[in-house]
Amino acid sequence: MLDYIEKMTAIPNKTNLFVTNFNVVKTGCILIELMQLVSIKFEQLSVRTKAIREKIEATVFQYMEQVSGEAEMRYLLLEKDFQDRDALDFITEYKIVQFLLNAYS
């Protein structure tokens, strides 16, 4: 599973996991949550999940730097998932400070 996530977030074409979703920030947050859950369940994978999380954060941060307007940023941060959580909930819970710094700069 980790190999697949790492591969699908790193490939530079239209099959990239982030490109196939409308909300890159929410997708990144859900992947970070998944990395956290895997790390808790399987402690021996904590170094690998941390490395993947850092790559995900960097990719989403790069995307957020290109957001041009307030409406788009609002959509990215406030769109809800199926459990009625938005990116701000994830950012707070998983301490993804990098996303907040970019969102309000």
Counted domains in the chain? 1
Which residue in this structure is represented by tokens 């707070």? 92
pTM of the full predicted structure?
0.85
Each residue's pLDDT expressed in tens, for the chain with a length of 105 residues = 899 888 888 877 777 777 777 899 999 999 999 999 999 999 999 999 999 999 999 889 888 888 888 899 899 999 999 999 999 999 999 998 877 776 555
| Coil, strand or helix at 20 | coil
Give the pLDDT score at 102: 60
Cα–Cα distance between 77 and 59 in angstroms, integer? 16
For residue 79, the enclosing domain spans 2-103
Residues in the chain, total? 105
| Coil, strand or helix at 84 | coil
Give the pLDDT score at 32: 95
